[in-house]
Amino acid sequence: MTVRYGVFGGAFDPPHNGHLSVAREAVAQLSLDRLLLVVAAQSPLKPPSSATPDQRLEMARRLAQLVPRADACGIELRQDGPSYTIDTMKALRARLQADEWWLIIGADQFVDFARWRSPDALLRRANLAVFPRPGYEIDVRAVIRNIEQVAGICYDTTNDGQEWNLQRRDDHDATTRIRVLHMTPVSLSSTEIRATLAAGKSIDGLVPETIANWIRAQHLYAPSAPADHDCQPVHQRKT
């Protein structure tokens, strides 16, 4: 029996219904035995989050409870320095036994996959499952060409109508598959959720209820308190 593991990474800052849809569809369409929701470390290119790493991991745990065979994973939070997906995949494969590994990424990430750290090495360690995002075309041929140019390699490719199969010409044991998940494009973003909360608006229908309730209990992403204009020197006050 083939054991299949999936890896779905993200900041989960916070998790939303788009994450939930992708996770459920990935488990179903890829016949996964286990899905790992890998919580990303803080990116040096993004402003610091108001949620701590432990809080983001807890929200990922609550998301995992809503997805069959899913678990939250904090492996990147325990690493020093920047986290690269290739290093995460190496660490996971060293710790866990599976016959197949699937990396689940969005179409917005897929278009730049050739710019990731060691994309060819990553394809040796995991198949790719790509979920649609509004405004992004999933052009598998173009991405493969970009990887070939960056890595200086060539792939023989076939498409059976369901997925692409890639085999390196210089190493016939190096094979991988690319599949597009059939689902409604995910338009939600965590940035949008944070902005909604910062504006003091409801996130009902955007975030799973268990996570929304926890966010409120933790006072996460709350609106900034208005400035106290009465706290000024007496001589500056108007009478």
Q: Walk across the sheet containing 100-106 and list its strands.
A: 70-73, 34-39, 4-10, 100-106, 127-131, 171-180, 163-168, 155-159
What pLDDT is attached to residue 230?
45
Give exposure, 49-62, as e/b (b: 16+ Cβ within 10 Å): bebebebbbbbbbb
Give yes or no for a cis peptide into 132 (omega within 30° of 0). Answer: no
Place of tokens 């933790």: 218
Give the three-class secondary structure for 71: strand
The structure tokens listed for 171 are: 């190493």
3-state SS of 112-178 is CHHHCCCHHHHHHHCEEEEECCCCCCCCHHHHHHHHHHHHCCCEEEEECCCEEEEEECCEEEEEEEE
Termini Cα distance of the chain: 82
Place of tokens 């494009």: 185
Region of 221 (left: φ > 0; alpha: ψ -120 to 50; beta: rest) is left
Contact 30, 179 (CB under 8 A): yes
pLDDT per position in the chain (239 positions), as tens?
899 999 999 999 999 999 999 999 999 999 999 999 999 987 655 777 889 999 999 999 999 999 999 999 999 998 877 889 999 999 999 999 999 999 999 999 999 999 999 999 999 999 999 999 999 999 999 999 999 999 999 999 999 998 999 999 999 888 999 999 999 999 999 999 999 999 999 999 999 999 999 999 999 998 864 444 444 444 443 43
What pLDDT is attached to residue 220?
95
Q: Where are the beta strands (DSSP E) in the chain?
A: 4-10, 34-39, 70-73, 100-106, 127-131, 155-159, 163-168, 171-180
Number of domains in the chain: 1
Q: What is the CATH number of the domain that holds 101?
A: 3.40.50.620
The domain of 160 spans 4-235
Contact 146, 114 (CB under 8 A): yes
